[in-house]
Amino acid sequence: MLSLSPPDDQPAAPASQVVVLGRFAPASVVGTSWLEVRLFGRASQERRLELVASQAVAGQPQASPSSPGARPAHERVQRLQFEPGRERLALMPGAFKVFSDHLELGLRHVLGGLDHLLFLLVVVAAGGGARYLLAALTCFTLGHALSLGAVVLGGWTFPVAWVEPAIAATIVLLAVFDTRDRLHSGAGRLVLIFACALIHGLGLAEALLGLRLDDQHLWPSLAGFNLGVEAGQALVALPALGLLAFLRLRCGDEVDWRVRQGLRAGAVACGLFWLGAGAV
């Protein structure tokens, strides 16, 4: 169906858009099939297009839906979300394809998430030795993986509006904790990192659920996304650790301390800014 759409605030004005609605039933799907969409508008809400694909599960009886708009019980439903940069998506992909796609999505998400990466830099900036640093990164990984899995697999719900401000608050909290020159290698800091990571996992869950997961492949989706996040964290944490080690060897402990304190101060400033922006 094609329909001309006038501007919302000027119903009598000439049409500014073409609304396209369609329903298609492919005769058969052999191998990997792809859908490609490039119908994007200019406004932000027009830069995302969602399509729904359904497929009968082989070997299962197809009972009629009991209510209008309902779907048969034995049916696989895939929700495809197209946007610039994701114009071509696989139709009814297998488990490995789902895993690899979500690995890439997790990598892209974490590298574009400045708040998540800034918290990670605060975690590694404290030092404390290789063993302690490994423990801190493990707490961070386990924390956000636990809350992410609880939301995606366990169906936990949370107030979405509070997630971004809460993540900003975790940055401020950890940076202030470290700035006060407490014992950075203590167990209390590990507990704090783990608690903050639970909140970061809610932000990851919000992003993952926004991708409209395939109910038939929740585990590959979650595993791929998690590994992509971890890969993105490694791409940031390892160079940061190398740079800090280089500064200490070449410039001495005083410069190293000043750089770490400057990073924490910058993290507090950014966290407060994001916290204030999220509260508006």
- 15-29, 114-128, 164-178: the lowest-pLDDT one: 15-29
Instruction: Read off the pLDDT of residues 101-118 as tens digits, 9 standing for 90 and up.
Output: 889 889 988 998 899 999
Measured between alpha carbons, how far is 12 from 15 in angstroms, rounded to an integer? Answer: 9
Domain limit, last residue, from 92, 115, 140: 92
Does one domain contain both 215 and 135? yes
Res. 58 pLDDT band, cuts 50 70 90: low
Co-location of 102 and 79 in the same domain: no
pLDDT digits (tens, 9 = 90+) for 185-223: 578 889 999 999 999 999 999 888 877 677 778 888 899
pLDDT at 68 over 50: no
Average pLDDT over every residue of 42-61: 74
For residue 17, list its beta bridge partners: 5
Question: 35 and 100, same structural domain?
Answer: no
**What percent of the chain shows pLDDT beyond 70?**
85
Domains held by the chain: number: 2
Residues 101 and 87 in one domain: no
Q: Is 32 exposed, middle or buried (0-12, 13-18, 19+ CB in 10 A)?
A: exposed
User: pLDDT tens digits for 244-270?
Assistant: 888 888 888 788 788 888 888 999 999
Pairwise pLDDT comparison (22 vs 101), residue with the higher score: 101
78 with 151, same domain: the answer is: no
Asked if 130 contacts 137 with a C-beta cutoff of 8 angstroms, the reply is no
Q: Which of 245, 142, 239, 266 is nearest to 197 (CA)?
A: 142
- Rounded Cα gap, residues 217 and 207, in angstroms: 17
Please give the residue range of the domain that contains residue 156. 96-279
160 and 262 assigned to the same domain:
yes
Name which residue leads in pLDDT, 56 or 275: 275
Which residue, 62, 92, 122, sits at the end of a domain? 92
Final residue of a domain: which of 31, 65, 92? 92
